[in-house]
């Protein structure tokens, strides 16, 4: 999926340096260095508790960070709150989808649009996930898990992100549904959106990404292009064996 578009002077779209994160006294991330170029699809792999969700929550302003630890298009954003991060063009599809149960499918989508206007509209989301046309007035809770995941992706797209973070979008879904969701991702990239995907399924992560990072116990243990990484390197980085 690579369509790298280097910023001026080779500047990364997102550059993270020495990122730490704490829950009270518990340290979950230990000095993460990470970068994403515009147009890349980057996957993060790692076992349960490795710190993947904490990392995404740090990027999206849900966990406070040092101002300079996260740079977006060259500007420090580490201390911005979540609402200002979305307005900058960074959106997240959270683990577990988190649709608003009392709202319809279309209302859920439109909530995503408050932060930033742009090319993504309800009609364009329907073009990506056609089943929504028939279900747009249904309560979000009436949908299957896979359909809810598609609406959660659509809701994030409605904020017209330049960078879309996806947290385990295949979790708990049947293989055919996972395939239709992953088949939609290249079309999202074609619209100019850069993707950062957290995925526990190593094979899936390798197939769909330009570059992979592996986290283990809050540290980056491996980074590289899938074709350059061996099974042994991945096993050691993932499981510490
Ligand atoms: P999973 O695949 O299970 O979602 P993960 O790689 O996303 O795992 P995180 O959820 O980021 O990992 O968790 C990293 C560490 O931080 C774990 O040890 C976890 O127990 C801890 N942790 C996560 N959320 C909290 C919280 N709200 N309070 C305290 N500790 C937390």
Q: Are 63 and 57 in contact (CB under 8 A)?
A: yes
| Domain boundaries, given as residue ranges, for the chain | 12-239
- Under the banding of pLDDT at 50, 70 and 90, the label for residue 5 is very low
Average the pLDDT over 90-107 and give the result. 88
CB 44 within 8 A of CB 199: yes
Ligand 1 lined by 51 (C-beta under 6 Å): yes
Provide the pLDDT for residue 172.
86
Query: Ligand 1: does its nearest atom lie under 6 Å from the Cβ of 216?
Result: no
Atom of ligand 1 nearest to the CA of 57: 11
Which pLDDT belongs to residue 241?
66
Is the pLDDT confidence value at 50 over 90? yes
CA–CA dist 183, 61 (Å, integer): 29
Identify which has the larger pLDDT, 10 or 236. 236
49 CA from centroid of ligand 1 (Å): 5
Q: What is the pLDDT of residue 64?
A: 86
The pLDDT of residue 7 is 42
25 close to ligand 1 (CB < 6 Angstrom):
no
Name the residue of 19, 49, 217 to mutate for ligand 1: max ligand atoms within 8 A of Cβ.
Answer: 49
Per-residue pLDDT tens digits for 203-212: 989 999 999 9
Can you tell me the distance from the alpha carbon of 138 to that of 103, in angstroms, rounded to the nearest whole number? 9
What's the CATH superfamily of 12-239?
A: P-loop containing nucleotide triphosphate hydrolases (3.40.50.300)
């Amino acid at each position: 999926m690579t369509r790298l578009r280097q910023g001026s002077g080779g500047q990364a779209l997102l550059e993270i340096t020495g990122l730490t994160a704490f829950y009270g006294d518990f340290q979950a991330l230990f000095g993460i260095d990470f970068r994403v170029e515009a147009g890349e699809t980057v996957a993060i792999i790692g076992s349960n508790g490795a710190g993947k969700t904490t990392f995404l929550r740090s990027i999206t302003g849900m966990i406070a960070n040092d101002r300079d630890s996260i740079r977006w298009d060259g500007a420090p954003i580490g201390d911005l709150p979540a609402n200002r991060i979305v307005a900058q063009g960074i959106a997240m599809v959270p683990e577990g989808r988190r649709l608003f149960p009392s709202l319809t499918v279309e209302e859920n989508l439109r909530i995503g649009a408050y932060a930033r206007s742009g090319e993504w509209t309800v009609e364009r989301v329907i073009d990506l996930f056609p089943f929504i046309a028939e279900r747009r007035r249904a309560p979000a809770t009436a949908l299957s898990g896979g359909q809810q995941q598609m609406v959660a992706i659509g809701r994030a797209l409605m904020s017209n992100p330049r960078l879309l973070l996806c947290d385990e979008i295949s979790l708990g879904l049947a293989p055919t549904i996972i395939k239709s969701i992953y088949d939609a991702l290249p079309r999202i990239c074609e619209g100019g959106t850069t993707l950062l995907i957290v995925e526990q399924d190593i094979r899936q992560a390798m197939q769909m990404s330009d570059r992979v990072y592996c986290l283990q116990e809050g540290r980056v243990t491996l980074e590289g292009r899938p074709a350059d990484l061996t099974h042994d390197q991945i096993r050691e980085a993932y499981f510490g064996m």
